[in-house]
Structure formats: C-alpha cells, structure tokens
Amino acid sequence: MRVVVVGAGVLGAALARTLAQQNHEVALVEQFDVGDPRAASHACTRILRLAHGEDVADTRSAWLARRLWKELEHESGRSLFAEVGMAWLAGQEVSWEAAGAAVLKSQGIEVARLSPAEAGRMLPGLLEDDLDHVLFEPQAGLLRAAEALQALVASAVEAGASVVRGRASPDGSLVLVDDRRLEAERIVWACGAWTPSLFPELVRGSVIQQDVCYFEVGDELSSPPAPAWGEWSRSATGSGDLGRFGFKVGLDRSGPSIDLDAPVRTPVAEHESDVRTYLAHRFPRLTDAPLIRTETCQTVALDPGVSAAAMLGGEVRLLRHPDYERVWLLGDGSGHAFKHAPAIAADAATMLTSA
C-alpha cells in the first residue's frame, strides 16, 4: 500500500517509520528541516511520564511508548531516554495523585510514595512545607527530543520511506506539494497546529503560544540525579538540567494567538514572569536564576462543540475525512503527544491498514 504522510513532526515521523517497517511504500512530506523551532516537536527535552491520574488507557500508552522509545534507542545507537524518574508534588488535595498511583500499581508499574523531605533531597532547594507527600515514578524520565525526532526520521528512511520537501496543501483526495500532486491509497495529515487552517471545515480552534523556560543552576540540580517533576494542582512541570540545557520549568497557561508563518517565535515576557512567580513559591533559590533559553511552543485550543475536532483528542486520535475516504487526520490534541508518539503510531497504522 502506498501512503503519503504530511508532517514530519513526532507523530508523522513515528507513523511513517511504523508503516515503512511494515513494508508499505511511504512518502513523508515536510516543509521545514527536521526539528525546526517553528514546529511543535522541537525541544531540548520532553518528559515521559507514566502517571495519568485515573486514565488507564493513557497510562498503558505511555508504558508501551516507553518500551518502543527504548527499542529505537537500541536500534539507532543514540542516547534518547534518560531514566531519571518523575516526582509529583502533592498537596492536601491528592485525588489525581492517588488515582495515578492506583492505576500504576494495577498495571504493574513501579511507583513509590515519598515524604516531602525525601523529595527535597532529590530536588535541592525544593520548598516542601505545604506538601503532603510526593508520588515518585522511578521508570519515568526525559526524552532528548531533537535526537529522538531525528532517529525516527532516519529509521523511517532506512526502512524505505522517502522524504519529500515542500509545503503541502489538500486538493480533495490528493496532496499538492508546491507544483507537484501526490496520490496514494492513504493520505495522512499529521500537521499539528496547521490542521485548523488546512481543514477549517473539520477542525476549528485557535493556535496559542506557550513558553518553556530553562534556567542556569548548579550541579546539584543536574539530571541525573535530579528527577523530572510536576505539580498537578498548579499545572506546572519541569526537570533538572540534562545536558547543560538548564533547569526546565513550564506552566500550562493559555497564551496569545501565534502566527504560524512568522519566521521567528518571540517569547512572551509575561510567561517568564509567571514562571518566576512559581519558582518563588516552590524553588525560591531559583527565583532570580539566569535565564538560559526559552522554547516557544504552540498548541491548538479547539472550539467547543466541534465533533470532528473533538475526535482529535483523548483516545481517538485518527479521524477519517467524511468526504474523501482515502484521507485521514492524525493528531493528539492534548499537547502531550511526544511521549506517546510510538504507541499512537502503532494504533494508527493498524487502523489505516485495516480500514
């Protein structure tokens, strides 16, 4: 079967690799260089966590993806996954953490309940006075995102996929790439934040900007041994300094709309300010730490009540075009696709080849 996959971000690259390894003829179309900062899959690191509250399906998906990432690491000979663990900082309201721990245990995944003092020894400078406990996932860790994406594309090409450079647009059941038309038995659009503009009749929403900050810290907050960490009640996640990129902090906040065609992404000053306010509460020693870099990310805020768009999130991540049976849309919609990508690709490949 011939398949055209549009978008060489983490989902498109993972799907192209999976299909090529199944001996399908695959063309992977991409407008940028792999890992271009204008695309959503660029990053220094991405957290691969296993706890997802009471969501059993996502926990299983993350566990499968972890195995598949490690297989790619072995295949490629590259260092892709650092198993530094994940520490969830739990206050008095612990329903998400308690549900996550129960699901992890039910799946046979290692999990531990630590005291705030124990967590403080893992994350020096952590303000622990208002914490009830810490949920620790020793088998979670950090993906070296740039290397992981490059390894996916290289593996896809080694398995027989071809890479087509150019900007694509839909033309019914065909793909226009500059002045060329590509035809296949399956067309898969894995275009992330570009999806609403390419398929406005199916996916409606705004593309918003979020920024992740990396700060200069001492060796005591290097990863390893410092784990990745998160605070569900404050919508905060981060990690120690892996590879001298810096101490990472990100807040899940609604941001301004972003121009996808802008050649440069400009960080929002308020985002750094919000991060420093969080640091003043949780890691007060780092409140005035020098900022090394800022990664600008983009996510799609889907309009409520759009049934087709809703299918791009949650557990259903592959949508068949209602008018063109060869055409499919692939997306995650959660902002957390990177860690799940190999598992999502495996499911998507099964759906595409059995449809």
**What pLDDT, in 10s, does the model give residues 326-348?**
999 998 655 678 999 999 999 99
What secondary structure does DSSP assign to 231-283, as a single string?
EGGGTEEEE-BSTTS-EEEEE-----B--TT-SSPPPPHHHHHHHHHHHHHH-
**pTM of the shown model:** 0.94
CA distances from 86 to 21, 47, 137, 340 (A): 32, 8, 5, 16
Where do the structural domains in the chain lie, given as residue ranges? Answer: 2-354
Does residue 102 carry a pLDDT above 80?
yes
Does residue 309 carry a pLDDT above 50?
no
Please state, in angstroms and rounded to a whole number, the distance separating the CA atoms of residues 337 and 188: 16
Tokens 């990664």 -> residue: 295
**What pLDDT, in 10s, does the model give residues 107-157?**
999 999 999 999 999 999 999 999 999 999 999 999 999 999 999 999 999
**Run of H or E residues at 101:** helix 95-106
Q: Residue 19 has which token pair? A: 């299909």
The more confident residue out of 127 and 307 is: 127
**What pLDDT, in 10s, does the model give residues 182-233?**
999 999 999 988 998 999 888 888 888 999 999 999 999 999 999 999 999 9
How high is the pLDDT of residue 314? 42
pLDDT averaged over every residue in the chain? 92
Q: Which CATH number fits domain 2-354: 3.50.50.60, 3.40.50.300, 1.20.1740.10, 3.10.20.30?
A: 3.50.50.60
Number of H helices, E strands in the chain: 9, 20
Please state, in angstroms and rounded to a whole number, the distance separating the CA atoms of residues 276 and 288: 7
Dihedral sign, CA of 342, 301, 100, 231? positive
Taking alpha carbons only, the member of 174, 155, 171, 165 closest to residue 78 is: 155
Average pLDDT on 230-253 reads 95
Please state, in angstroms and rounded to a whole number, the distance separating the CA atoms of residues 157 and 349: 17
How high is the pLDDT of residue 316? 46
Where residue 311 falls among pLDDT bands split at 50, 70, 90?
very low
Average pLDDT on 34-39 reads 81
| 61 in Cβ contact with 353 (< 8 Å) | no
Taking alpha carbons only, the member of 173, 196, 192, 240 closest to residue 4 is: 173
How high is the pLDDT of residue 49? 97
How high is the pLDDT of residue 304? 62
